[in-house]
Structure 1
């Protein structure tokens, strides 16, 4: 057998072994990522389906045994599509960080909106109810408890059946845009009160323009309480 033929024969024998090693490394990365995801999910869901959508490629070569360490998953959680990053280590050294893609369905109890709402309603005027839904489909983390909504209102429209999230809400300002306010003005020992309309939202301590009926220009006033503002001298 010529030297060239011998070399080709040796390479042919090594190829299946290399492929098996590569598959084993990919399996190790996927297993580490799946274990980390399942641990983070915990046991709070009635049904979980976790499918691998992307397996790692271009795995590093190493002489020693490989170790796999899944990194924390960034972003909203849980969500329907995400990527877990896995460090491949050998001898205490990181050889490469590989992505493992997943598709997730996680069904459990969550607070949802009962009706379509287009206005910025205060939270205490909304109807929420608990339903069994796929919480991974939401655009933000599910609301932990309606108690967290005290003093808040919707910041954008919502639809019936949508999973409620704290990110759907904002604090109710002490004075809202176009809200009628009690405008106080002091002249020496005399205090005068008139009705005015705030031209923007503001909280206690902030200055806001207030339009008073019969005047051409708004006056500057400092918000002193909910619905109350004091004219700036």
Structure 2
């Protein structure tokens, strides 16, 4: 693939990421923000109860909650979508033609599905998202490192599984090689789950329903982001790699269709 095609696909990947980010932002606003507000209310109620009867100075918010849930949310999610779209487009350029004889849309769908599993689902099952008021502020750095480590392990093991499947395919056949690679991935991820430390800092009195709803909303946001990117980028990539045949000058579209028939 030449540099012009890579550049064109990178731009279209970022554009698809922009569209996906806008859709994910809407899902986040309508599904997730109410859960965040509920968690913040619980946190503030606990803080007020702890400070009852004691004079204390209330720290003024640097950024208002209204701004966080609108402009801040839109900026963060959309920029995240654009960056993710660019990275996914580069991965698409690398794997195109190396994982089988798939077209642009099918390759985009496979890359998107694999990225969703490796970057979102696998880390989520080990370290699920938690709303505000859940988690010790003193361990925030440690929890972030563990989450990023889980993502890195998942991505590396996914790449290893793909390589293993490709190498086993000539001897075992595509189906058996894919099964073997899948078993390897599940086994390796299970070991990572077992050896990485668990994090359980949910307060005993925190509503379990709210945590469950927040985590489902987080998963819905990520699913929307990846699904929208896969669909939009697949269409855009196909137009770059498989352009429609040009219609000769002086020939109408109807005449061209009739000739093709």
Considering the TM-score relative to the shorter chain, is it more than 0.5? no
More helix by share: 2
TM range (shorter): under 0.3
Highest CA radius of gyration, 1 or 2?
A: 1
TM-score when normalising by structure 1 = 0.21
Tell me the TM-score normalized by structure 2.
0.19
Q: Which has the higher contact order (CA 8 A, sep 6+)?
A: 2
